[in-house]
């Protein structure tokens, strides 16, 4: 690789070593990918997007660049759309109760009154540590589990499955247990 980069030299001193490393990194990061970067810029220029990007970088930066923002309970509640049973059904009443528990759990997470964070919940449900700038497809949703005391998720479909439980204390305990004991993407 050093010979391909043009920096295959005999190193005698520590300064020579740093020079070789700098030259190699410059080649590896910039020059090796120069043709790919140039083709990418040409593609952006064909739709005049490159010009717009150069003229208005502050406007387009939030869409193209990740910025770390703290999640809030309100963000999470509005992000996940529930799939509810028909109005008036027994299942719908239980799902409404679970959604109330969900909202309380999110507030507890935001206030750091739980062993898990909002980011942990997002990772469990979607496999993402933070919200991407361009949004998510498919949009995250909530389904309900009448036969499991613990949450489950499908990270491919961005689906969080909440248990239908009788009390908030059991809901909170089981959510914490389920989230903490599911390494990776949160599949139980």
Q: What percent of the chain has pLDDT above 90?
A: 52
HSE of 40 in the Cβ direction (CA atoms, 13 Å)? 5
Of 182, 56, 76, the closest CA to residue 136 belongs to 76
Q: What percentage of the chain exceeds 70 in pLDDT? A: 91
pLDDT of residue 52: 86
**pLDDT given for residue 31 in this prediction:** 79
What confidence tier does 184 reach under pLDDT thresholds 50, 70, 90?
low
Would you state the pLDDT for residue 187? 43
Residue for token pair 């995250």: 140
pTM for the structure as a whole: 0.69
Confidence (pLDDT) at 9:
65
């Amino acid at each position: 690789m050093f010979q391909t980069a043009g920096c295959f030299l005999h190193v005698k001193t520590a300064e020579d070593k740093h020079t070789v490393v700098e030259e190699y990194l410059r080649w590896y990061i910039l020059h090796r990918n120069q043709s790919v970067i140039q083709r990418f810029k040409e593609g952006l220029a064909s739709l005049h997007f490159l010009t717009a990007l150069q003229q208005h970088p502050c406007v387009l930066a939030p869409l193209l660049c990740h910025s770390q923002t703290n999640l809030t309970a309100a963000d999470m509640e509005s992000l996940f759309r529930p799939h509810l049973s028909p109005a008036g059904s027994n299942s719908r009443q239980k799902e409404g109760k679970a959604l109330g528990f969900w909202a309380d759990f999110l507030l507890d997470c935001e206030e750091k009154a739980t062993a898990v964070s909002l980011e942990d919940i997002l990772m469990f449900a979607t496999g993402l540590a933070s919200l991407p700038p361009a949004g998510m497809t498919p949009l995250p949703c909530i389904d309900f589990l009448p036969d499991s005391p613990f949450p489950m998720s499908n990270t491919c479909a961005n689906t969080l499955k909440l248990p239908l439980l009788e009390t908030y204390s059991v809901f909170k305990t089981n959510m914490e247990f389920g989230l903490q004991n599911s390494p990776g993407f949160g599949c139980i």
